Amino acid sequence: MYVGVEETDFLKKMSWKLCGKETRELLFRAKEACQNRFVFTHPWDMERCEEPVSFSNKIDWTYRLNEDEEWTFMLNRHRFMAEIGQSYLLTGEEEFVHHWKRLFYDWVLANQDPTIHPLTYRKIDAGIRLVNWLKGHSYISSSANWSKEDDALFYKQLKEHGEYLSRLFTPFDFQSNWGFIETNGLLQSAFMMEKSMKNEWLNAAISRLEKMIELQIPDDGYQNEQSPMYHHEVLFCLIEITIVLQRNRISVPCFVNAAVDRMLTASFGFMKPNGHQPMLGDSDDTDVRGVLAIGAVLLKRSDLFDLSNHQIGLDFLWYFGEEGLKIYSSLTEELPQDCSVSFQQAGVTVMRNGWSHKDDYLLFDHGILGQVNKGHGHDDTLHLELMTDGREFLVDGGRYTYCETQEREYFKAANRHNTVTVDGLSPSIYKGTWEWEQCPRPIDSFVRFHERYDYSQSSHTGFWRLPSPVHVTRRVFYRKSLYWFVIDSFESNGTHNYEQHFHFPEHTQLEWNDRNELFTTYKEGTNIKILPLAFSKEDQLELKKGLISRHYNQLASAPHAMLQYKNRKQFAAPFIIVPSQAGEDVSLRVKSLPVSSIKERKEADSDVLAFHIQMGDVEDLIICSLTGSDSFIADQYQVCGEVILISNREDGSSIEVIR
């Protein structure tokens, strides 16, 4: 998988030159593992843990830190075996060979007891372990201290693992990231087998890949569990499979190339301006630009090169070696033509005005909780995330743990996301860390992109289950580079409390003034102001201390603002978000306007809304019918449609019927 020992000089030099911090961290983890101390801090560790765990004598391969089995699974995935092998190449120190063998033999001996296999030998972990063994072995085996007896045991373990993965593939695996992870291990280990078994495993792996890609990677490229974390786990598997096949002079199937291509496009499509993935659906706050750099070389795509921002990581260097760095350096910069992205199958819309780290970014999640068993899904339908001028404002809270704890339920619930609740209830019913009941069905989703605005809307069925059902719709309008205008509408014959939730990053200072404005108070850079346009003295704002988890096992305090509209029936709750520079008061005027039908009958505010918005020299009139397309008169304009924008221009007014 990694380039061979013939590139030792290049890897030694460029790992330190281009990835010094990552190289130091790799050597630290490898040396810790050699002393039976384990930390899981690799950027792509699925369940990170910075707390070191030490074993004084023999390693307990079933140990659970804080009763969390995920720690045990991480231990048995053996990333440290790949890193010990890399450390041997970087330093030439034979101690690394000694400890690689010791740890390998220790694990093999312990697993002669099949009763520990539920914790040490799951299929997903076996697939990951195989890949890490192969990476480490490619360097350790060059040592004079690696014997024929060592090779024989290594081969025996590869064969046992491969037979296990070949035999026990299930229908669930076709629909899960597990299937790709298992298949990656099976395919890579096939090249260490005799010809008949090699061909058998390769054929099985390729056949599974074709089916899994068809089932899991839709046209929009966003893996069907709809978690950026596991999207990238699957993408890494396909990247490694592509590299291994190419290195062994085997033609890469066209369906694999196509899947890698569209998954990489999806990766930068939902990537935030800071280069990180959003923390949707059990994802961590991980930088994805290194993945784009790998994709740029693999597919020779200039857009991936440009968006990677020269974030070359160790995996890049060790996958491609000197030739890969030459290819990367030869690529030209070319940003994607379209800034905003609609993931139609996933139900995610991303609105942008550019690709720089300073540009605007709004993510609107209006899809289902995720396919398969919805285990990685959070109750985040209609959730928003917002960045502008290089600063995060509205964020997802992350995941923190997979244990069945209060924290697990807290981070998955709707009120932990920037969405709406009714009477304090989530749209879905939480049943356990991997299980939901009565999940909402998104309906009436619509997206439109324009050079001056983006618009998206969606409804869901999550509150239809109430004794007095509520139909919720969120409409999101982005007036590019100026403001975001959101209308939440609630259709019901009963009386309810309706809540809007806003979650901010750590250390954000929030204030609420007597003009009913919620705003951040950074002393430098950009702030935002949120103006609820239907808030009354009977309603309530709560500023709370919430929690955020940027990585598994990490917790921090972060502010949570909740607007509660009390005792309402049919109701619309619009709000506008505007950015401003610290110390400056944004020039904004928002005025609600009356709307009448063409028969001069005044429409109720719950049916049709019209707002005049003025920012500096820009004046907009937004008319929104909450009951479908019709004809209206507002501010002397007679228009027909459901959502209409009337804006001033130097050559006169412009009318856009958005929907």
> Longest Cα pair distance anywhere in the chain, in angstroms?
93
Please report how the helices 148-167 and 123-140 are oriented relative to each other, as an axis angle in degrees rounded to 10.
150
Rounded to 5 degrees, what angle do the CA atoms 131, 136, 137 make? 95
Residue 424 · residue 415 · CB < 8 Å? yes
What does the buried/exposed string (b/e) look like for 141-171 if buried means 16 or more CB atoms within 10 Å of the residue's CB?
Answer: bebeebeeebeeebeebbeebbebbbeebee
Please identify which residue in the block is written with the tokens 């196509």.
258
Helices (H), 271-382: 289-299, 302-308, 314-330
Helices (H), 420-563: none
Nearest-angstrom CA–CA distance, 599 and 621: 21
Rounded to 5 degrees, what angle do the CA atoms 497, 499, 504 make? 160
State the architecture of 1-168 in CATH terms: Alpha/alpha barrel (1.50)
Please identify which residue in the block is written with the tokens 């290194």.
290
Number of H helices, E strands in the chain: 17, 29
Q: Looking at this protein, which amino acid is placed at residue 220?
A: D
Where are the chain's structural domains?
1-168, 175-269, 288-337, 341-585, 587-659
- Within 8 A by CB and 6+ apart from 454, the residues are 340, 349, 351, 447, 448, 477, 478, 480
pLDDT of residue 536: 93
Three-state SS string over 54-108 comes to ECCCCCCCCCCECCEHHHHHHHCCCHHHHHHHHHHHHHCCCHHHHHHHHHHHHHH
In CATH, the number for domain 341-585 is: 2.70.98.70
Residue 397 · residue 483 · CB < 8 Å? no
The pair of structure tokens assigned to 13 is 């030099």
Residue 241, helix vs strand vs coil: helix
Residue 101 · residue 73 · CB < 8 Å? no
For residue 393, with 0-12 CB atoms within 10 Å meaning exposed, 13-18 middle and 19 or more buried, which class applies? buried
Q: Looking at this protein, which amino acid is placed at residue 420?
A: V
Helix (H) or strand (E) holding 283: none
Q: Looking at this protein, which amino acid is placed at residue 310?
A: H
Nearest of 34, 185, 49 to residue 102 by alpha carbon: 34
Q: Phi and psi of 427, rounded to 5°?
A: -60, -35
pTM given for the model:
0.95
DSSP 7: G
Residue 482 · residue 618 · CB < 8 Å? yes
Residue 32 · residue 45 · CB < 8 Å? no
Nearest of 222, 220, 252, 219 to residue 238 by alpha carbon: 252
**Half-sphere exposure of residue 180: CA atoms within 13 angstroms, side-chain side:** 29
Helix (H) or strand (E) holding 130: helix 123-140
The pair of structure tokens assigned to 381 is 């339908």
Sign of CA dihedral 159, 164, 170, 176: negative
Nearest-angstrom CA–CA distance, 236 and 183: 12
The DSSP secondary structure of 154-222, one letter per residue, reads: HHHHHHHHHHHHHH---HHHHTSHHHHHHHHHHHHHHTTS-HHHHHHHHHHHHHHHHHHHHHH--TT--
Distance of CA 53 to the CA centre of its chain: 28
Q: Which residues of the chain have pLDDT under 50?
A: none
Residue 104 · residue 81 · CB < 8 Å? yes
pLDDT of residue 637: 83
- Within 8 A by CB and 6+ apart from 495, the residues are 468, 567, 568, 569
pLDDT of residue 605: 56
Nearest-angstrom CA–CA distance, 33 and 468: 58
For residue 335, with 0-12 CB atoms within 10 Å meaning exposed, 13-18 middle and 19 or more buried, which class applies? middle
